Amino acid sequence: MLKKLALGALLTAPLLLIGCSSNPVGMDDEQWKKLSPQAQEELLIKQQQINAERDLIQQDADNRARELRLQAELEEQKRLQRLYKNPMQGNVVRINLLEGSKKGVKNSWKILPESFSIARSETQRVELQFRDQQTGRIEILPAYLHYREEGTGVELHLYRRDSSDQIRFISDGQWDCGSDYSQQIILNKQDKIHLKVYIEELGAKPMYCKLRKRKQYR
């Protein structure tokens, strides 16, 4: 009795779908109508077997893709740990947001100073915090920092990882001692963001950095 009920449940689901989907094993309606009930039943079972095998193959592929993704994430974590543990030759830089502002049609905000460390080819989600000059309210602007793999620059994408609203800080070859930047961008044709940033490589500073600073202040 249980076997008959199970078979009935197995066959009922595909039959309910016939009206709104293709017939089993790709048969057209004319071919399907010519079959005996027994033949239709056999083809329905066959189609379920095919679907089950297809689902199993897809599940195996999804599991394999998940394993590869987790493995890649683990390798990336290990790579970043090595770089942060022993930063050298520009593998890790620190972006210091010294000051800045955001000006709209009616309101103006000042940025809260912040620092972010980032390794080559890494992308980080960060938050830029602006304080309203009148109300003191804090506004958070989500952004993504990306340090180019070749070490030639840092990009700050506003709102989204792939946003075209971005500020680029191109290396001047002096990040080993530190470099100042003053950049601005206009959002939505009305909000103007201005940032003053200091970028420096992490790790031991070369001896000539002191000499370079002395020349700058003469």
Q: Mean pLDDT throughout 61-87?
A: 93
From the CB of residue 200, how many other CB atoms can be counted at a distance below 10 Å? 18
> 100: closest CA among 122, 133, 144?
133
Which amino acid is located at 51 in the chain? N
Query: Would you call 80 exposed, middle or buried from its count of C-beta atoms within 10 A (0-12, 13-18, 19+)?
Result: middle
Query: What's the whole-model pTM score?
Result: 0.70
Distance, in Å, from the CA atom of 103 to the CA atom of 124, rounded to the nearest integer, reads: 25
pLDDT of residue 187: 87
Is the separation of the CB atoms in 202 and 117 below 8 Å? Answer: yes
Question: pLDDT tens for residues 15-71?
Answer: 444 344 478 878 888 888 888 889 888 889 999 999 999 999 999 999 999 999 999
Mean pLDDT, the chain, whole residue set: 86
Give the sign of the dihedral formed by CA 104, CA 110, CA 116, CA 119: positive
* CB-based contact 141:127 (threshold 8 Å): yes
